[in-house]
Each structure stands twice: as structure tokens, then as C-alpha cells.
């Protein structure tokens, strides 16, 4: 049964359970200084998000709500500020964006995967045939205003005037050169950006055939997007960006969270750990939890790998003298070797 929300959880629409439709209602009005009033509104985004199912499972069982996490997410939603999410590998930094979108019913997540070569332009626009950044800045006839010769990237699409906010995941911003985080501040502060070349219509990152107008050649949001920025803290981000965000550090998942994740991934009836039934035996889960508290690393991925092998019967063949702990240790060593 879903847990009753605490006082902290009830102060905003996000409840932290990961259940579709768990939110109590619409988002509150933004502060006047974060209201950008773009328009006209563009069509709603696709409701389906196949990648969310990969990351979260089907969402049959509620996840345990963590009060500090819930409070910070709701603070970001109320203030229309980005979330800056840190934490060790495997704590669910990226999947948080999908949990928010699923719970609030905000549609497909826009994901911008950052590399060392990423630029602001890459996030705003996708290259189309016959167009380039150089052309857009220097040749006004590059784009025909009656066709969508420009296609927006994930960042650009997030700032279109949607009636409800889009969820934008900026994944691993610490991989970028220092110029990108600084340039990103300009878009976050302005709530939009100018489209070069006199473009009047653009395609979106959701659908190349979905053409939307750009009044005056400027994209400006109606509902400021839910921006989730993740970092592994490999390099410091500029203070100008950090101060615009609500900071959130995800804790290492504990036993209650891991058991809830297992229940979502393996929702069928109880099994015996050898493939008879759709769920792993409790002693297999406990063996993993005992191993997890002793070792660093991407906990959730290793947890799910171990349970999948248990349900498939593979883990049982590794168990020596009926020791599930020995089998789990073996799987952990395999994945650790792959990481190095």
C-alpha cells in the first residue's frame, strides 16, 4: 500500500513515490520574477516514454519517499529553479528526472547527454540538411520561414511555450568545458533564446514533422521547464550556475529502497531464486544487501543484475554449498572487473 505523505511531502505536488498520477494537483503559479509568459502554447508532448520503463520499471509499487529529497524537488518546482543533483554512481541521479515526469504526468523527458565536446548550440539545435551554425549566423536565406529548416534540440524544445512544463535532463554537466555551463546560465535566466537566421517555424526534438511557430524569431517558455542537472563532481561548476539551482545530493539507497526497486522490477508472484516464479527469494535479496553495505559502486545496477540472474536460475548454479552470499559476491566481482 502507498505510504501516507508526511507534512513535508504534502507541501507540493511531488510525493516521491514514483507512482504515475501520484501528484495532488497542478503546479502552483511561478514567482513573478520567474514568469516568462511565452506563447502561443504548442501541442502537448508525447505521453509515452519508453526509456522511463527501462530506468524505472512499470511502477506498480510505491518507492519509499525520502523527506529531504521530496522537499527539495518541490522547492525547485515552486521556484522554477533547476535541480542540481549529485551523489555517488548508482544512486539514481538521472532516473530522478523520469520519476518526476512520471509522477506529475509531464510526458516524455527531454534528455541532453553531455560530453567534453558539447556546446550550447548543440543543446538548442539539431543540424538539418543544408544548415549549420555558420550558415545560421551569417546567411539569412539559410532558412525558409515557411518550412521547418531548423530543428530544436532537447534544450531548445524544453523552452518552447508548453502549457505544462517539460522535464529536461542535462546529464553529466561536469563533463563539459567551462564555457557550456556559463552559456547555459543565459538561457536559464532568460527563459528562452533567439533563433538566428529569421526562422519563423521550427521542428521539435520530439517529432521532426511537428512544426511550431517562433513569433519574432524568439523561443520563450510559458511554463519554465523542470530542469534536472546531474554531475559526478569531476570538476566544479561555475558559481553563477550553482546559485541558480536547488542543490540535491542523493543518498546511497538503503534496504527499504532496494526492496521497493526489486518489487517494481519483479512484480510477479514469489519465486524461489531458481526461476520458479517471477520474484527472487528473500534470502537472495538479503545476501545482496549484506554485500552492498561493505562495498562502494553502482549499487542499483549490480542489485538488479544479481536478482535477474537469481530469477533466471543462473545465480543458483554459482552458489556453493547453498551459499547465496558466495554467488552474489561472484556477480559483484564480475561487474567490478568490467568497470576497471
Which grid cell is 153? 534540440
CA-to-CA distance for 28 and 31, rounded, in angstroms? 9
For residue 3, is it within any domain? no
Q: Which of 233, 249, 265 is the last residue of a domain?
A: 249
What domain count does the chain have? 2
Considering the domain architecture, whether residues 143 and 212 belong to the same structural domain is answered as yes
For residue 334, is it within any domain? yes
For residue 1, is it within any domain? no
Q: Which of 249, 280, 310 is the last residue of a domain?
A: 249
Contact 116, 178 (CB under 8 A): no
| DSSP E strands, 106-210 | 110-113, 125-126, 150-152, 167-171, 192-194, 201-203
For residue 290, is it within any domain? yes
Considering the domain architecture, whether residues 36 and 149 belong to the same structural domain is answered as yes
CA-to-CA distance for 277 and 239, rounded, in angstroms? 52
pLDDT digits (tens, 9 = 90+) for 179-233: 999 999 999 999 999 998 878 889 999 988 889 999 899 999 999 999 999 999 9
The DSSP code sequence of 69-129 is HHHHHHHHHHHT--EEEE-STTS-HHHHHHHHHHHHT--SPEEEE--TT--HHHHHEE--T
Considering the domain architecture, whether residues 213 and 287 belong to the same structural domain is answered as no
Contact 38, 220 (CB under 8 A): yes
Contact 97, 37 (CB under 8 A): no
CATH of the domain at 62: 3.40.50.300
Angle, in degrees to the nearest 10, between helices 324-339 and 299-311 = 130
CA-to-CA distance for 115 and 177, rounded, in angstroms? 9
Q: Which of 15, 7, 12 is nearest to 102 (CA)?
A: 15
Q: Which residues are CB-neighbours of 191 under 8 A, at least 6 positions away? A: 34, 36, 38, 159, 220, 221, 224
Q: Which of 198, 243, 248 is nearest to 218 (CA)?
A: 198
Question: pLDDT > 90: what percent of the chain?
Answer: 46
Of 6-10, 31-35, 93-97, 180-184, the least confident: 6-10
Considering the domain architecture, whether residues 64 and 118 belong to the same structural domain is answered as yes
Considering the domain architecture, whether residues 219 and 321 belong to the same structural domain is answered as no
For residue 305, is it within any domain? yes
Average pLDDT taken over every residue of the chain? 81
CA-to-CA distance for 171 and 45, rounded, in angstroms? 20
Considering the domain architecture, whether residues 183 and 321 belong to the same structural domain is answered as no
Whole-number pLDDT of residue 306: 76
Considering the domain architecture, whether residues 181 and 322 belong to the same structural domain is answered as no
Please give the helix or strand (H or E) that residue 156 lies within, else none: helix 154-158
Which domain range does residue 259 map to? Answer: 255-339
For residue 2, is it within any domain? no
Considering the domain architecture, whether residues 108 and 197 belong to the same structural domain is answered as yes
pLDDT digits (tens, 9 = 90+) for 107-146: 999 999 999 999 999 999 986 544 444 444 433 333 343 4
Considering the domain architecture, whether residues 85 and 218 belong to the same structural domain is answered as yes
Considering the domain architecture, whether residues 170 and 289 belong to the same structural domain is answered as no
Contact 165, 44 (CB under 8 A): no
Considering the domain architecture, whether residues 218 and 291 belong to the same structural domain is answered as no
The average pLDDT across 41-70 equals 88
The average pLDDT across 72-90 equals 94
For residue 90, is it within any domain? yes
Before 183, cis peptide (omega within 30)? no
For residue 182, is it within any domain? yes
Considering the domain architecture, whether residues 319 and 242 belong to the same structural domain is answered as no
| HSE-CB for 131 with a 13 A CA cutoff | 23
The average pLDDT across 79-92 equals 92
Q: Which of 201, 227, 249 is the last residue of a domain?
A: 249
Amino acid at each position: 500500500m502507498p505510504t501516507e505523505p508526511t507534512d513535508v511531502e504534502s507541501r507540493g505536488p511531488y510525493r516521491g513515490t514514483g507512482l504515475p498520477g501520484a501528484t495532488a494537483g497542478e503546479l502552483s503559479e511561478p514567482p513573478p520574477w520567474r514568469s516568462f509568459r511565452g506563447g502561443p502554447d504548442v501541442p502537448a508532448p508525447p505521453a509515452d516514454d519508453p526509456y522511463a520503463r527501462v530506468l524505472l520499471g512499470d511502477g506498480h509499487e510505491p518507492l519509499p519517499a525520502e523527506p529531504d529529497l521530496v522537499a527539495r524537488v518541490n522547492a525547485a518546482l515552486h521556484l522554477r529553479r533547476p535541480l542540481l543533483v549529485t551523489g555517488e554512481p548508482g544512486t539514481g541521479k538521472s532516473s530522478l528526472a523520469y520519476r518526476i515526469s512520471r509522477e506529475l504526468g509531464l510526458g516524455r523527458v527531454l534528455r541532453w547527454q553531455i560530453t567534453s565536446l558539447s556546446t550550447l548550440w548543440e543543446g538548442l539545435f539539431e543540424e538539418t540538411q543544408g544548415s549549420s551554425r555558420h550558415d545560421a549566423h551569417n546567411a539569412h536565406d539559410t532558412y525558409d520561414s515557411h518550412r521547418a529548416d531548423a530543428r530544436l534540440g532537447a534544450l531548445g524544445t524544453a523552452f518552447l511555450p508548453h502549457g505544462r512544463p517539460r522535464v529536461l535532463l542535462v546529464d553529466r554537466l561536469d563533463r563539459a568545458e567551462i564555457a557550456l555551463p556559463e552559456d547555459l546560465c543565459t538561457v536559464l535566466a532568460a527563459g528562452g533564446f533567439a533563433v538566428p537566421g529569421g526562422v519563423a517555424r521550427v521542428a521539435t526534438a520530439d517529432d521532426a514533422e511537428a512544426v511550431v511557430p517562433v513569433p519574432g524569431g524568439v523561443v520563450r517558455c510559458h511554463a519554465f521547464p523542470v530542469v534536472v542537472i546531474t554531475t559526478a563532481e569531476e570538476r566544479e561548476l561555475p558559481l553563477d550556475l550553482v546559485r541558480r539551482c536547488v542543490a540535491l545530493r542523493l543518498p546511497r539507497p538503503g534496504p527499504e529502497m532496494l526492496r521497493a526497486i526489486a518489487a517494481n522490477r519483479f512484480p510477479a508472484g514469489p519465486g524461489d531464486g531458481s526461476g520458479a516464479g517471477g520474484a527472487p527469494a528473500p534470502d537472495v535479496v538479503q545476501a545482496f544487501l549484506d554485500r552492498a553495505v561493505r562495498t562502494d559502486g553502482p549499487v542499483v545496477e549490480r542489485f538488479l543484475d544479481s536478482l535477474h540472474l537469481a530469477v533466471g536460475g543462473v545465480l543458483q548454479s554459482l552458489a556453493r554449498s547453498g551459499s547465496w552470499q558466495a554467488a552474489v559476491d561472484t556477480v559483484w566481482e564480475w561487474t567490478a572487473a568490467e568497470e576497471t
